[in-house]
């Protein structure tokens, strides 16, 4: 519980040793995972009245996680647009440091999807 509640607290390290992308990714992943767990638990307990047959499958949970992270990375990537958001835009270097190779894979997926829609 402490890890979840304190996920956004910065590590106490020297400024030159900090890794903002890594810290940001950790905070995002932990908080989003906790939120998804909470949502799935509430759906099962409240909507499905704890019926074992209606419990979420591992595949369903994984698909929801991937969709949630896909949307989050997409939003993060789009938030770097300085023309649209001006000084409030997220720094592109921070987004790249946060998501690393995932951003590269994500942008390839976006290009593939956009070609398929045309």
Residue-level pLDDT, tens digit, the chain, 118 residues: 566 656 556 665 556 666 677 888 888 888 899 899 899 888 877 876 777 877 888 899 888 998 998 899 889 889 999 999 999 999 999 998 888 867 666 666 655 454 444 4
**Under 8 Å CB-to-CB from 64, ≥6 apart: which residues?**
36, 40
> Tokens standing for 29?
């992943």
Length of the chain as a residue count:
118
Residue given tokens 């402490």 in the structure block: 2
Q: pTM, whole model, 2 decimals?
A: 0.68
């Amino acid at each position: 519980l402490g890890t979840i509640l304190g996920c956004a607290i910065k590590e106490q390290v020297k400024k030159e040793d900090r890794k903002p992308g890594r810290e940001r990714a950790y905070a995002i992943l932990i908080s989003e995972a906790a939120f998804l767990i909470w949502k799935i638990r509430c759906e099962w307990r409240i909507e499905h009245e704890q019926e074992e047959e209606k419990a979420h499958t591992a595949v369903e949970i994984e698909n929801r996680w991937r969709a949630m992270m896909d949307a989050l990375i997409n939003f993060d990537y789009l938030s770097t647009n300085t023309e649209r958001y001006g000084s409030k835009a997220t720094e592109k270097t921070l987004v790249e440091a946060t998501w690393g190779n995932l951003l590269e894979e994500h942008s390839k997926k976006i290009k593939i999807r956009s070609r398929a829609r045309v």
